[in-house]
């Protein structure tokens, strides 16, 4: 008997872990592509174009299933467009740009702290008091980022390190805004339709950015760049989205969030193997502190939100 059939939770855990590792590989692909002197927006457009057919198909199928339902109100459509631009265009562009200046390990560490920003944004928008335990967890998380970043600033050019760190932090903020907004729109559109629509909107925004900024044709790069872009689209975009969604369906968002703590470790390990990046003691200690802080935030947050809301947030 297949052991995964005997214990279905094992299969769900493997799906979640695999999806998180695949997501974490994105930074490795970006760094490898930068070796061919491609700019951030061109690389992002290549990734989006390879992903686009899948999301158009999902959008068509999910829309066909609800074709008899009333059309969403205009304000929801406008908000979806804004969130698509913030979550999949602006956030990704900032991330790719920041990776030119910082290591993949530090990039993943800063991005991993996005749940703390979700808590802060939600507290400001809805005028909620942040519990003391959650506030302490947020402070622990930021201390861990400072510890890891402090060593990077001393090892590299300070201006570049600070610039990259700021770009990645802004990326985490825009992605957190996307997640906060998605809690309101996923019940309206459905998870699959919302995500596919947002991705299509973002692809249009990336294409416009490319058209206004670049004079170099998109087809002028070496074949390796398009191979990396295709791998990034399949391995680090489409495939992990389905894997993590299925894992959430089987074992719940809280368990998947816990498994998500392997993300920074996976990135650091892959960076050591494929990019020859070495982790310092400060980065290792900072990583452990950040993961501890984020896990505390998620542990307290799951008691503050409803189960359906938590699932929607993870599915995004």
d(CA 258, CA 98): 26
Domain boundaries of the chain, sorted by first residue: 3-315
Predicted local distance difference test score (pLDDT) of residue 284: 80
**pLDDT above 80 for 150:** no
Predicted local distance difference test score (pLDDT) of residue 25: 94
Predicted local distance difference test score (pLDDT) of residue 113: 85
pLDDT band at 302 (very low <50, low <70, confident <90, very high): low
- The tens digit of pLDDT for each residue in 205-256 reads 999 999 998 778 899 999 999 999 999 999 998 899 888 878 877 887 667 7
Long-range contact pairs involving 120-123 (C-beta distance under 8 Å, separation at least 24): 121/176, 121/177, 121/180, 122/180
Task: Determine the average pLDDT of the residues in 289-299.
Answer: 81
Ramachandran angles phi, psi of 190, nearest 5°: 90, 150
Mean pLDDT of the chain: 85
The Cα-based distances of 145 to 148, 149, 227, 289 in angstroms read: 5, 6, 33, 8
Rg over alpha carbons for the chain, rounded to the nearest Å, is 19
- The tens digit of pLDDT for each residue in 75-93 reads 999 999 999 999 999 999 9
d(CA 316, CA 313): 5
Name the pTM for this structure.
0.86
Is the sign of the CA dihedral 150, 143, 83, 198 positive or negative? positive
Predicted local distance difference test score (pLDDT) of residue 169: 94
d(CA 90, CA 208): 12
**pLDDT above 70 for 44:** yes
Task: Determine the average pLDDT of the residues in 56-72.
Answer: 90
pLDDT band at 148 (very low <50, low <70, confident <90, very high): confident
């Amino acid at each position: 008997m297949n052991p995964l059939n005997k214990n279905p939770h094992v299969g769900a855990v493997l799906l979640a872990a695999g999806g998180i590792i695949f997501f974490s590989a994105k930074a490795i692909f970006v760094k490898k592509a930068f070796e061919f002197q491609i700019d951030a927006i061109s690389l992002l457009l290549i990734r989006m174009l390879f992903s686009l057919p899948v999301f158009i198909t999902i959008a068509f199928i999910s829309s066909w299933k609800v074709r008899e339902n009333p059309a969403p109100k205009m304000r929801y459509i406008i908000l979806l467009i804004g969130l698509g631009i913030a979550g999949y265009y602006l956030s990704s562009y900032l991330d790719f740009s920041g990776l030119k200046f910082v290591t993949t390990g530090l990039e993943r560490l800063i991005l991993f702290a996005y749940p703390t920003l979700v808590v802060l944004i939600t507290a400001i928008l809805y005028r909620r008091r942040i519990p003391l335990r959650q506030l302490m967890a947020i402070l622990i998380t930021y201390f861990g980022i400072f510890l890891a970043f402090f060593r990077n600033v001393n090892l590299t050019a300070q201006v570049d390190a600070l610039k990259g760190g700021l770009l990645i932090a802004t990326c985490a903020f825009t992605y957190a805004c996307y997640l906060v907004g998605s809690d309101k729109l996923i019940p309206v559109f459905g998870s699959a339709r919302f995500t596919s629509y947002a991705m299509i909107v973002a692809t249009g925004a990336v294409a416009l950015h490319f058209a206004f900024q670049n004079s170099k044709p998109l087809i002028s790069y070496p074949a390796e760049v398009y191979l990396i872009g295709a791998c990034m689209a399949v391995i680090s975009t489409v495939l992990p989205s389905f894997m993590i969604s299925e894992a959430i369906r089987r074992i719940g968002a809280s368990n998947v969030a816990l498994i998500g703590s392997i993300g920074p470790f996976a990135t650091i390990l892959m960076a050591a193997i494929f990019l020859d990046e070495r982790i310092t003691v400060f980065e290792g200690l900072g990583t452990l502190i950040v993961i501890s802080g984020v896990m505390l935030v998620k542990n307290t947050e799951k008691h503050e939100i409803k189960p359906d809301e938590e699932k929607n947030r993870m599915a995004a």
